[in-house]
Amino acid sequence: MIVAGAGSGKTRVITYRVAHLVRRGVDPFNILVLTFTNKAAKEMRERIMAVVGDEAKNAWMGTFHSVFAKILRVEAEHIGYPRNFTIYDTDDSKSLIRSILKEMQLDDKLYNANFVYNRISSAKNNLISAAEYNGNEQVQADDLSNGRGQLGQIYMTYTQRCYKAGAMDFDDLLFKTNVLFREYPEVLHKYQHKFKYLMVDEYQDTNFSQYLIVRKLAAINENICVVGDDAQSIYAFRGANIQNILNFEKDYPDLKVFKLEQNYRSTQNIVNAANSIIANNKDQLKKHVFSENETGEKIKVCRAFSDNEEGKIIAEAIAQERSLHQLNYRDFAILYRTNAQSRAMEEALRKINVPYKIYGGTSFYQRKEIKDLISYFRLTFNPNDEEAIKRVINYPRRGIGDTTVDRVFIAADQHQVTLWDIISNASTYLDGRSAGAVGVFATMVQGFQVVAKNHSAFDAAMHIAQHSGILKDLYEDKSVEGLNRYENIQELLNGIKEFSEREDIAEKGLDVFMQDVALLTNDDNDKNPNADTVSLMTIHSSKGLEFPHVFIVGLEENLFPSQMSLNSRSDLEEERRLFYVAVTRAEKKLTLSYATSRYRWGTLNNCEPSRFLDELNPAYLELDFKPRTMPQADNSFDDERTAWQQREVFTKPKPKVLPKTTSILPKAHTPTSGFAPSDTSNLQVGMEVEHERFGFGKVINVEGNKSDIKATIFFKELGQKQLLLKFAKLRIVG
């Protein structure tokens, strides 16, 4: 196990370990490297090829989902699936769930499609089948007590519909692999002997399903090497289990552990500050991360009166830093806990014409026109794909209205056959005009199947784009949006052309391209990573990235850490790891900010600084607070605010939360008019002072020397506090 601290070069370690194995004569076909993004796998493959040459192409290297999708295509018939099964993305799955909810006449607010999808996903990641879900009395009782007693039936119907459509969702790729290995030991035996050397990147992010697959594959040879950092385990909400890495030694008692503790990315100040944060977590593999880079600037902590002012402070800081040091916009990143926080940042950046890009937005492959054409591709290889049929049976319009589509669904249900059985035999099941229009659609799809079988990916894709009518439909739309959609289709075809001409892959059919597309993550869809724009993203999206200048915004209690994380120590520790990840994205300079007030659901709320700010060692901080003068009112929100205040707001009782430690940061206090800090170099015991947030107090002790002089002050409202004078900004009253 390689415990790799932030910025320690773990990708390089994986690269050279694979290269070392190949140089020692290990057949690359016997090496399996599992990652979490296609981007990471691609980078590793390129690095390994640079060291050992084209032999690297023969190693099995990819994401969990891509590798096991490949295995499932070979072995699919064991579990009753066709080899050309469709892979449903999240949108496809939710669309199917919405259809099921409508058919079952369930309240889509109580049975929200997102909630149902996540419930099913969670069950699959814990290897709970629909039958097991429905057979578990405790689960059924929980669902009934929450007023969602039909969840089990939805899960069962969803499973049956996917199977009938010859489709697997993302979670199925791992769930079905576990089923395959469990029920067909000869298949497991085959891959245990094929993959003699197993490596897993980001092992701290594995869930139960992934953990079991890895254990089974490694059981014979035990040539397993995992790389990860428990301090960067931040995906519990997706099912990731930090115990997989913390307890790895229990699975393999003769384990050898290596620690990569030198951070090559960040300055000493940033690394030391990060260490002071993560030291507060109890569940961790102990290590001492250090940096031999320059000491660097101290971490700035900025306070704003509101989220809008926070955005303004950050935007102006970026413009100023860029101008002073001749930097590029892409040198800056703004990280936040929730997507909603981007609004204030975007508005502030736009006002001063700073270009930016939001990561994690709608990906290229989720755009309507792209999904429409890809649905035709999917139908070509799997005509039983129910979601693809619904999407394109009457797009572009071909005289198959909603009534006809309903008849197709009813007929399929009555005769217990697939939609395609009805469509491809329309004259048998439908009458008159309906049968004619549906029959033409079936003939068109069958023609696409012939073309795809005998032509390259690009030629087949171009034929389908033309003969489906999509290109013509978009070309005739002369609006700006229509032009953009047409250009997006062109861009997709360009991508397929590039795929068709790749020399590093043997199979170049449209079906292979489709599998690659289905397994893309948002991280893999960045068409121009070198664009000169400021990067805006959630902290979860920033993992694995690095920037010279990083701004972490919204460091307030109940926002970061999230209010939902304050109910248990494990949740709070995950939130602290998230903060650690955010801090360690910075190479040269880090700025933290918080607002003393923020709008939530239309109401202006007072905010308290995050406990994570208190946990940072103050020796690495520079408090950069603006003079306390109230900003001018922003009247643009007045109408919206009034409308919200007129609504009836329902609030749940606040849960019991973990207590926050005494803060070194300012509390709410209205300073005296004209407040200005005094020279405190000669501060003495007995003096009366005013702090701009702690209020009035009396000095009871002064200690230390030079720049580290500390004063102990008893404040009337808050009690005794010890402050570093260089940060404190006190006004001497008398």
Catalytically annotated residues? 10-11, 201-202, 232, 585
> Angle CA(495)–CA(500)–CA(504) in degrees, nearest 5?
105
Say if CB 399 and CB 430 are below 8 A apart: no
Say if CB 342 and CB 336 are below 8 A apart: yes
Tokens representing residue 665 in the block: 């940061």
Total residues belonging to the chain: 734
d(CA 43, CA 49): 10
Nearest Cα residue to 169 out of 106, 214, 125: 125
Please give the single-letter amino acid code of residue 393. Answer: I
Nearest Cα residue to 583 out of 615, 559, 630: 615
Nearest Cα residue to 262 out of 566, 500, 9: 9
- Residue at token pair 């115990």: 243
533 φ/ψ angles, rounded to the nearest 5 degrees: -135, 150
What helix, strand, coil percent values describe the chain, rounded to 5?
50, 15, 35
Tokens representing residue 247 in the block: 């307890």
Give helix 480-500 / helix 368-381 axis angle, nearest 10°: 40
Nearest Cα residue to 298 out of 730, 727, 728: 727
Q: Exposure of 654 by Cβ count < 10 A (0-12 exposed, 13-18 middle, 19+ buried)?
A: exposed
Cα-based distances in Å from 263 to 9, 272, 552:
8, 10, 20
Nearest Cα residue to 113 out of 103, 123, 98, 100: 98
Say if CB 139 and CB 57 are below 8 A apart: no
Strand residue runs (E) in 20-78: 31-35, 60-63
Tokens representing residue 375 in the block: 């649905």
Cα-based distances in Å from 629 to 12, 73, 434, 673, 730:
51, 65, 71, 9, 17
d(CA 174, CA 156): 18
Estimate to the nearest angstrom the gap between the alpha carbon of 461 and the chain centroid.
Answer: 31
d(CA 472, CA 181): 47
Q: 427: which DSSP letter?
A: H
Maximum Cα–Cα distance for the chain, whole Å? Answer: 99
d(CA 242, CA 203): 9
d(CA 614, CA 721): 13
Nearest Cα residue to 206 out of 198, 218, 214: 214
Give helix 64-75 / helix 170-183 axis angle, nearest 10°: 50
CB atoms within 10 A of CB 611: 25
d(CA 444, CA 438): 10
